[in-house]
């Protein structure tokens, strides 16, 4: 069976990474090029841009664009990777960890992968539209027209990220660098996703980005876990593979699975999943999706880290104390399963 | 007179840059280290973090932190530079220009300067607090408690940025790459500055950053023009110099000018300033400040680009078609006037 074989191949890669690997101080990094740009976006005419005399209330703004920052390493580049953050966070997720270790954004570059980091639309450097707030403030709209925007508090996020079952308890052997938690909480931003249409405009923007790059692994996390699948359903062009890390949702096994035929897909979960009512059903659904996708000719795989001997990883595994070991696993998987565009 | 002498010295540097310099394709860039982190921030307890059942309304969040991304070039580094964006924008201001040329964030690194790019508090990757919006939405607060958050529309920004006197007219010889204006509008984000205390929490965060770096030029733009001065008034520690680009405000000439004694200060304006009622008084006030600061033992200088033979620069001169020539001017000024911390 394909799934079993793939899991076994990853297991052999993973074996040496089951303990945290010591990392020497990294040397200088040579990059061929870097920069930032936007994809997507649409113009909106508004009469409520401002309630201040210094700025006109009436005018046109651009929203729904997605900010992208990238680095391409010197030398023959490997498969490009696009890092897509989750709920209540920005692209900062993948950068320097709260305790000051190298982020995946740099590590993938050092391993030869051109790396693209995005801010989901309406978050971070991707603009939101304040018109609804100002419409209510100036009496032109009712209070229920205010946007739905929430922040996850430290206490609630604690359980969502599986640091522990309730703040401030911790799971045994848990690998998140909690000594630096104050720096982590600074990464969290308000989330407007519930004010956005479905699919989220981030999805067509990811499709545009994938086509612009000309072949990339879409690597998502949590809230964004479903986006690469939605992007593939929209258009397979430019999508070289999907790595979905701790997705809040996989496609349903009863969905149309043709968009994923022959597409290398890896779904990755950390530890303690079955002990959390929020997470256990998500893992179960992803297992069912992977089985159904493979039955329909897919190349999907699901890895739950403790099942291959790696213990203690939280939902924020790209920041856990063995984050680069996890990255090594993914790099090995990409090297083995994802073809580079010619 | 000191001011005249300094301006004359800059003029000789500037002369060769008065026409746009051809730039060869840049080669690879080697950096010693890079990353991102936050400075500042405070915990806020709130009962209105969310109106959604999936996220608790009650909890603690962290706000007022300032996001910082940096690159340190390989080799013996020059004076570190901190780039501080203006109104309705984020750190993206200094990155790849809308028409795809190299941004100052990379150019300063290539010229040997460790470079730090920030997002002002409550903007970009620096979190805002959604509590007030949710308090109103859930009926716990009156509508007038909504935050003051505005967006500058394309049409209004057109005149503020001095592309032309009214949208879509352009100033003669204007150097902004308007063919790529759609990409520029995507950089603009809602601005919550009017909901923040004075001084803006960005100011103490800049002080913390300057001390952490251990000596940096604070280079501000427009809305943030006053911040480096406010930071110096708070604490001179870590501030090696100030470059204030097109500041919305300089300190008043009648202010206490002791915080600026012996501090290398350059105030820089582009073209067409006196033709815009929004801008002419700001330039006049900055001229008066520089004169007063020097009379009080300062090392301040003001340069208005057309007065040294460089025509056509807009308010967004870090993105104009001669942006790297302007950067060269600033790099020469820093090299001449700012001492590196030992």
DSSP conformation letters of B235-279: --TTEEEEEEES-S-PPPTTS--GGGBT-EEEEEE-SSGGG-TTT
Percent of chain A residues past pLDDT 90, beyond the cut: 90
pLDDT at residue B8 tops 70: no
Looking at the partner chain, which of A28, A95, A147 has a beta carbon nearest the beta carbon of B74?
A28
Q: How far apart are CA A124 and CA A132, in angstroms?
A: 19
Longest C-alpha distance within chain A, in Å?
Answer: 67
CB contact (8 A) between residue A55 and residue B150: yes
Looking at the partner chain, which of B51, B136, B150 has a beta carbon nearest the beta carbon of A50?
B150
Looking at the partner chain, which of B36, B58, B148 has a beta carbon nearest the beta carbon of A52?
B148
Across the range A251-257, mean pLDDT stands at: 97
Q: Which two tokens stand for residue A55?
A: 């700025």
Nearest of A83, A23, A110, A104 to residue B31 by alpha carbon: A110
Across the range A238-263, mean pLDDT stands at: 97
Measured between beta carbons, which residues in chain A are less than 8 angstroms from residue B152?
49-50, 55-56, 59, 61
Nearest of A197, A187, A193 to residue A92 by alpha carbon: A187
Summarised one tens digit per residue, pLDDT across range B217-244 is 999 999 999 999 999 999 999 999 999 9
pLDDT at residue A199 in the model? 87
Across the range A72-97, mean pLDDT stands at: 97
B295: left (phi over 0), alpha (psi -120 to 50) or beta: alpha
pLDDT at residue A70 tops 50: yes
Please tell me the distance in Å from A99's CA to the nearest CA on chain B: 10
Chain B, nearest residue to A53 by Cα: B150
Please tell me the distance in Å from A273's CA to the nearest CA on chain B: 18
CB contact (8 A) between residue A127 and residue B74: no
CB contact (8 A) between residue B100 and residue A136: no
pLDDT at residue B6 in the model? 44
Measured between beta carbons, which residues in chain A are less than 8 angstroms from residue B182?
41, 62
Nearest of B284, B322, B245 to residue B89 by alpha carbon: B245
pLDDT at residue A342 in the model? 65
Type and span of the H or E element at A45: strand A29-46
Chain A, nearest residue to B46 by Cα: A153
pLDDT at residue A15 tops 50: no
Summarised one tens digit per residue, pLDDT across range B300-314 is 999 999 999 999 999
Looking at the partner chain, which of B147, B148, B155 has a beta carbon nearest the beta carbon of A60?
B155
CB contact (8 A) between residue A92 and residue B36: yes
Q: Where are the beta strands (DSSP E) in A172-298?
A: 216-221, 239-245, 264-269
When pLDDT is cut at 50, 70 and 90, the band that residue B4 belongs to is very low
pLDDT at residue A13 tops 60: no
Q: How far apart are CA A235 and CA B22, in angstroms?
A: 40
pLDDT at residue A17 tops 50: no
Chain A, nearest residue to B119 by Cα: A125
Summarised one tens digit per residue, pLDDT across range B68-109 is 999 999 999 999 999 999 999 999 999 999 999 999 999 999
Q: A227-234 and A202-213 helices cross at what angle (nearest 10)?
A: 70
pLDDT at residue B131 in the model? 98
Q: How far apart are CA A255 and CA A253, in angstroms?
A: 6
CB contact (8 A) between residue B186 and residue A127: yes
pLDDT at residue B224 in the model? 98
Looking at the partner chain, which of A26, A35, A128 has a beta carbon nearest the beta carbon of B96?
A35
In the block, tokens 């033709």 appear at B275
Please tell me the distance in Å from A304's CA to the nearest CA on chain B: 25
Type and span of the H or E element at A72: strand A59-73
Question: What pTM value is reported for the model?
Answer: 0.95
In the block, tokens 């401030």 appear at A168
When pLDDT is cut at 50, 70 and 90, the band that residue A100 belongs to is very high
Judge contact between B194 and A52, C-beta under 8 A: yes
Q: How far apart are CA A217 and CA A215, in angstroms?
A: 7
Across the range A125-134, mean pLDDT stands at: 98
Its ipTM equals: 0.95
Chain A, nearest residue to B62 by Cα: A186
Across the range B46-66, mean pLDDT stands at: 97
Cα–Cα distance list, A215 to A82, A173, B32, B139 (Å): 10, 38, 29, 49
pLDDT at residue B12 in the model? 44
Contacts for A231 with CB less than 8 Å, ≥ 6 apart:
A203, A204, A206, A207, A210, A218, A239
Please tell me the distance in Å from A100's CA to the nearest CA on chain B: 8
Percent of chain B residues past pLDDT 90, beyond the cut: 90
- Between A15-24, A91-100, A216-225, the lowest mean confidence (pLDDT) is in A15-24
CB contact (8 A) between residue A29 and residue B34: yes
CB contact (8 A) between residue A38 and residue B187: yes
Measured between beta carbons, which residues in chain A are less than 8 angstroms from residue B144?
137
Please tell me the distance in Å from A253's CA to the nearest CA on chain B: 24
Measured between beta carbons, which residues in chain A are less than 8 angstroms from residue B36?
92, 95-96, 103
Q: Between A and B, how many residue pairs show a Cβ–Cβ distance under 8 A?
A: 225
Cα-flanking dihedrals φ and ψ of residue B61, to 5°? Answer: -125, 165
pLDDT at residue A341 in the model? 77
SS3 call for B297: coil
């Amino acid at each position: 069976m394909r799934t079993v074989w793939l899991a076994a191949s990853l297991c052999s890669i993973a074996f040496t990474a089951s303990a945290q690997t010591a990392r020497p101080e990294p040397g200088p990094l040579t990059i061929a090029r870097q920069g930032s740009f936007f994809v997507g976006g649409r113009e909106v005419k508004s009469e409520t841009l401002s309630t201040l005399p210094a700025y006109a209330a009436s005018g046109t703004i651009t929203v729904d664009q997605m900010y992208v920052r990238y680095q391409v390493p010197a030398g023959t580049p490997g498969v490009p990777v696009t890092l897509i953050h989750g709920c209540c966070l920005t692209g900062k997720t993948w950068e320097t960890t709260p305790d000051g270790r190298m982020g995946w954004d740099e590590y993938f570059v050092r391993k030869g992968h051109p790396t693209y980091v995005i801010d989901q639309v309406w978050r971070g450097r991707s603009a939101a539209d304040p018109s609804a707030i100002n419409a209510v403030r100036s009496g032109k709209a009712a209070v229920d027209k205010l946007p739905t925007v929430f922040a996850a508090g430290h206490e609630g996020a604690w359980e969502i990220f599986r640091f522990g079952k309730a703040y401030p308890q911790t799971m045994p052997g848990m690998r998140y660098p909690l000594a630096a938690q104050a720096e982590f909480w600074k990464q969290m931003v308000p989330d407007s996703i519930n004010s956005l249409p479905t699919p989220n405009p981030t999805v067509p923007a990811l499709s545009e980005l994938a086509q612009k790059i000309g072949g990339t692994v879409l690597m998502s996390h949590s809230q964004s876990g479903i986006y690469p699948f939605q992007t593939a359903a929209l258009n397979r062009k430019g999508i070289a593979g999907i790595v979905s890390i701790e997705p809040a949702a996989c496609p349903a096994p009863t969905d149309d699975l043709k968009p994923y035929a022959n597409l290398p897909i890896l779904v990755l979960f950390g530890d303690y999943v079955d002990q959390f009512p929020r997470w256990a059903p998500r893992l179960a659904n992803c297992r069912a999706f992977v089985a159904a996708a493979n039955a329909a000719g897919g190349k999907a795989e699901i890895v739950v880290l403790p099942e291959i001997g790696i213990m203690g990883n939280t939902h924020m595994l790209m920041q856990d104390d063995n984050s680069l070991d996890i990255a090594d696993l993914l790099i090995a998987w990409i090297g083995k399963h994802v073809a580079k565009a010619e």
